[in-house]
Structure 1
Amino acid sequence: MNKALKVSKSINISGSRDAVWNVLTTPEKIKMFLYGTETITSWAVGSSIIFKGNYEGHVYKDKGVILEHIPKEILSYSYWSGFSGLMDSPENYAKVTYILESISVTQTKFTWCQEGFANENSQQHSEQNLPQLLESIKTIAENTEV
């Protein structure tokens, strides 16, 4: 993985950090914005995280480890995807980080960061798709009761 290849985007959401956090850490809601992906984890630091599903006829099981978890503030995990074409070894894991910041009681800034892409094409693919992903998270959070 090339640690220099990064993508980071933010979006302002009309909702509390509780509401946004709920969307990011509830498997049923993750499935809504992550293309039907099933997420399996305890969210405890050091525990595994598994993302599995079927994308355009390809069954996948991506994985990682929870690196940091401060509820309603920051969540990061290592991440390896079979779609990367790279072997499942430590040097081929990316790092994904979610950061939540209060703008006001009812407004949250959510930032998604990913670093360590297999190549520039993978980085560009994420760069292009991230705005739609963030909009989906925003829509779910703004229409969800906590």
Structure 2
Amino acid sequence: MEKLTLNTELKFKAPAAKVWQGLTDPEMVKAYFFGTQLDSSWKVGEPITFSGEWDGKKYEDHGKILEIDPGKFVKYSYWSSMAGTDDKPENYANISYELSENNGETTLHITQDNIKNQEAKEHSEQNWKGVFEGLRKMIE
């Protein structure tokens, strides 16, 4: 069964440093990401967790930082406790954020692999756009 990979781009009328801060600063993330508590040291091999409550259900999604070039690029593994899958390596996705800045406008390129079908891919893309729309309102 072939898994799908999502590639999506979002543009922000803000410098890359500000977008990076919005991706990595727990206070900012909590403000636009429905109260999600982000926890990571942003070092390779270290954990990254996203926890909180959604529809009255507690969740803790987690993974590991795989690569990082602070301010420009990060790639992490990710398992969602909401996905209804076991916490096993084959159920983790790799997610990366890559930033490029041009004339004060920053492009955020998001990649997510190990997506099970087209429907899930479209759902993920809508989610990313919805979440980061909140970030856009904060930083632009």
Structure 2, unmatched stretches of 5+, are: none
TM-score by length of 1: 0.88
CA shift for structure 1 position 133: 2.0
Q: Distance in 2 between matches of 1:93 and 1:138?
A: 28
Change (3 A) 1:80 1:59: same
Name the count of aligned residue pairs: 140
Structure ranking higher on relative contact order (CA contacts 8 Å, 6+ apart) = 1
Match of 1:40 in 2: 39
Letter in 1 for 2:100: E
- Counterpart of 2:22 in 1: which secondary structure? helix
Bigger mean CA offset, 55-64 vs 30-39: 30-39
Change (3 A) 1:26 1:3: farther
Identity %: 35
Contact 1:86 1:118 in 2 (8 A): no
CA shift for structure 1 position 113: 1.6
Q: Distance in 1 between matches of 2:61 and 2:68?
A: 20
Bigger mean CA offset, 122-131 vs 81-90: 122-131
Q: Distance in 1 between matches of 2:116 and 2:33?
A: 20
Give the RMSD, CA atoms, in angstroms: 1.6
Deviation string, structure 1 residues 73-120 (Cα, Å, up to 9, x no partner): 10110000111111101111001110100112x211111221112444
- Is 1:58 aligned to residue 57 of structure 2? yes
Match of 1:76 in 2: 75
Match of 2:128 among 103, 127, 130: 130
Match of 1:18 in 2: 17
Q: Distance in 1 between matches of 2:70 and 2:2?
A: 26
Q: Distance in 2 between matches of 1:20 and 1:138?
A: 9
Change (3 A) 1:3 1:61: farther
CA shift for structure 1 position 3: 6.6
Match of 2:105 in 1: 107
